[in-house]
Amino acid sequence: MSGEMTQSEPQVQMSRRERKVAETRTAILKAACELIDSEGYDEATIERIAEAADIAPRTFFRYFPNKEAILFAEFDAAREAMVAGLRARPADEDVLESLAIILKQLSVEIDRRWDEFAWVREVTGTHSLGRSHERIVASQEVNARVAEILAERMGVDPQSDPRPNAWTKAIMAAFGQAVLLGPQATDSGCTFDMFIEVLNSTIGALTKLEAAARVVCTQDYGPLTHAHPDN
């Protein structure tokens, strides 16, 4: 399967320089995907990608900090669009409704370009790139920005009110699991439907956990202990 990634059509008129930048970025992405497809991730060096894109290696670094960033370029762009879209929602709209709308829009884009995202997941999974420190930090930063928007809309301080951060982590974790399963995991072929299923099962589990926690709260279990291996 070809991993060639496409970009959405620009929504505003671009200057000549902006068009040139976009064209060069697209050329780098196309060259990288074709080399990775034909020869493998390790063999697709930055030098070879630059040569295939007809640019100097130093030009590559004006667009991407490293080779790994190429694979996650569209994921990162989707995340940026999600954050920007959430911030642009009407201020008088319920904040969780706003988040649901944005995640629905994001899921539609993921479903439309599923072959591309699946290809990236296959490559990154083979090389454990998705679990790198850089990617974990990137995910945490996005969650922090979403939580910040929720806190602003709720009119609370996230340093003293745990809801924005807790809700964001729970919701984004559920959405992430839905994306991992993919649209083919549902009869409708829709990632958002899988997201709703994951939410429902999570809500059920959390409801049971709350009931258990209320019972446990009245009992004295003492401190947590752990066994030490014999010397």
Structural domain range at position 20: 16-69
Of 69, 103, 131, the one marking the end of a domain is 69
- Does 118 share its domain with 31? no
Domain of 129, CATH number, reads 1.10.357.10
Q: What share of the chain is helix, strand, coil (3-state, %, to 5)?
A: 70, 0, 30
**CA–CA separation, 120 vs 123, rounded Å?**
5
- Does 80 share its domain with 27? no
The Cβ-side half-sphere exposure at 190, using a 13 Å CA radius, reads: 10
- Does 140 share its domain with 122? yes
Question: CA 132 from chain center: how many Å?
Answer: 14
Q: For residue 133, what pLDDT is reported?
A: 62
Residue with token string 């920005």: 145
How does pLDDT run across 50-69, given as a tens digit for each residue?
999 999 999 999 999 988 88
pLDDT band at 1 (very low <50, low <70, confident <90, very high): very low
With CA atoms as reference, report the closest residue to 41 among 7, 63, 68.
Answer: 68
Is pLDDT at 9 greater than 50 in this prediction? no
- Does 167 share its domain with 97? yes
- Does 51 share its domain with 97? no
Tokens of 41: 């991730």
**CA–CA separation, 106 vs 99, rounded Å?**
10
% of the chain surpassing 70 pLDDT: 89
Q: Considering its fold, how many domains does the chain have in total?
A: 2
40: left (phi over 0), alpha (psi -120 to 50) or beta: left
Cβ neighbours of 117 (radius 10 Å): 21
Domain of 41, CATH number, reads 1.10.10.60
How does pLDDT run across 132-154, given as a tens digit for each residue?
666 777 788 999 999 999 999 99
Is pLDDT at 175 greater than 90 in this prediction? yes
Residue 1: burial class (beta carbons within 10 Å; 0-12, 13-18, 19+): exposed
Q: Is the CB of residue 26 less than 8 Å from the CB of residue 49?
A: no
